């Protein structure tokens, strides 16, 4: 089985990147393959342009960079997103990736006179969100629920993808980094636990 690991952090030495490396190590140990999409290092442009809007409105051919990202997802049996929490949500780089890649005609299909058709029902999604605050802050202010509403349901469920894992890896600057790395490796090892390895 094959996973696409999408990392949205500018610093290759960040905990976010280290989490992706650990997921990859777990996948390898379990006999699976992976590809890492390092959006910052690869220079992915998150800006939604007039060309992107034409795709949304008229099913025009997406720009080449969007087609490349869609092809990566199409090759994957699972999608893992590792990202820092900025302002209680996705960082702009990752949100722009979603805005541009998960387009009408590919992730969903709808028009003014037709209901939404969810086209990513085959895709399993795993979310690893890194935050410095503690769980009580997220619960007290409703941020944990808000993130699940807008990301797990508002993005992925809307496209039919199944969010299998949705973890808030919190207190990341207070000595919990090692535990988070163990969580990521275990996620990688168990990502396809119910599937058989070809070969």
Label residue 10 exposed, middle or buried (CB < 10 Å: 0-12, 13-18, 19+). middle
| Residue 183 placed within a domain | yes
70-108 pLDDT tens trace: 999 999 999 999 999 999 999 999 999 999 999 999 999
Confidence of residue 59 (pLDDT cuts 50, 70, 90): confident
Q: Report whether pLDDT(198) > 70.
A: no
Total count of domains within the chain: 1
CATH number, residue 88 = 3.40.50.360
117-140 pLDDT tens trace: 999 999 999 999 999 999 999 999
| Residue of 91, 94, 92, 84 lying closest to 172 (CA atoms) | 84
What counts of helices (H) and strands (E) characterise the chain?
9, 7
| Residue 49 placed within a domain | yes
End-to-end CA distance of the chain: 11
Q: Which residue has the higher pLDDT, 58 or 78?
A: 78
Q: Domain span at residue 64?
A: 2-190
- CA distances to 48, 174, 198 from 55, in Å: 11, 44, 36
| Residue 195 placed within a domain | no
| Residue 38 placed within a domain | yes
| Residue 72 placed within a domain | yes
């Amino acid at each position: 089985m094959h996973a696409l690991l999408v990392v949205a952090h500018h610093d290759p030495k960040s905990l976010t990147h280290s989490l992706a490396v650990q997921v990859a190590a777990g996948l390898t140990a379990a006999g699976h393959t992976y590809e890492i999409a390092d959006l910052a290092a690869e220079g992915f442009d998150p800006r939604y342009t007039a060309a992107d809007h034409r795709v949304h409105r008229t099913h025009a051919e997406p720009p080449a960079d969007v087609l490349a990202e869609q092809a990566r997802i199409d090759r994957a049996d699972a999608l893992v997103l590792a990202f820092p929490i900025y302002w209680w949500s996705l960082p702009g780089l990752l949100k722009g990736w979603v805005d541009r890649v998960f387009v009408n005609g590919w992730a969903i299909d709808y028009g003014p006179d037709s209901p939404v058709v969810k086209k990513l029902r085959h895709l399993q999604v795993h979310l690893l969100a890194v935050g410095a605050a503690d769980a009580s802050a997220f619960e007290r202010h409703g941020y944990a629920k808000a993130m699940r509403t807008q990301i797990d349901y508002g993005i992925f469920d809307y496209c039919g993808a199944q969010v299998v894992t949705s973890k808030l890896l919190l207190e990341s600057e207070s000595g919990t980094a090692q535990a988070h790395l163990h969580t990521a490796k275990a996620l990688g090892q168990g990502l396809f636990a119910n599937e058989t390895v070809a070969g």
